[in-house]
Amino acid sequence: MREVPCHKVASGFASGPALTTRMAISFLGNVDPRTGMVVDPGHELYGQKISGKVLIFPGGKGSTVGSYVIYQLKKRGLAPAAMINLRSEPIVAVGAIISGIPLVDRVPADLLQVKNGSFIEVDSDRERVRIRTFQNDPAL
């Protein structure tokens, strides 16, 4: 298990399987708020559901409506369990805060290499991320 320090953006504790991308996410346009599915064919996560995952991505982009899309995802039970950014920006931060989704940032860039499915714990109040990889997983 690896423990990584981080910076709290939105309070809380959550855990789940990692879903990682090296691409920024626009919650307005990249993610369908009715399904929790990444619907942009140009995105690395195209066709994947973010629901219940610890979503690891560099940061957000796009319209401020993205904050409300995150909120809609949460209300429908389709939101990520937690989010980890290299550097959070206001759209993702506000979305996480109003939705009660733990969000941290200021993590090492190598977290963007965490394999999908690795077990992640995000404890934003203690400013700590724990990564548990599988036995046969040489990454991180």
Q: Per-residue DSSP letters for 4-67?
A: EE-EEEE--EEEEEEEE-SS-B-TTTTEETTTTEE--TTSTTTT-B-TTSEEEES-B-S-THHH
Q: What is the pLDDT of residues 49-68, one digit of tens each?
A: 999 999 999 999 988 999 99
| Residue 38 covered by a domain | yes
Q: Exposed, middle or buried by CB within 10 Å (0-12, 13-18, 19+), for 70? A: buried
CA 95/CA 92 separation, integer angstroms = 5
> Where residue 21 sits, what CATH number does that domain have?
3.50.30.10
Is 11 assigned a catalytic role?
no
| Residue 140 covered by a domain | no
Given the residues 63, 67, 88, 118, select the one marked as catalytic. 63
Domain count, the chain: 1
| Residue 29 covered by a domain | yes
| Residue 84 covered by a domain | yes
Q: What is the pLDDT of residue 11?
A: 98
Amino acid at 129: V
pLDDT along the chain (140 residues), means of 10: 97 98 96 97 98 98 94 98 97 98 98 96 98 66
Q: What is the pLDDT of residue 134?
A: 65
| Residue 48 covered by a domain | yes
Domain residue limits at 122: 2-132
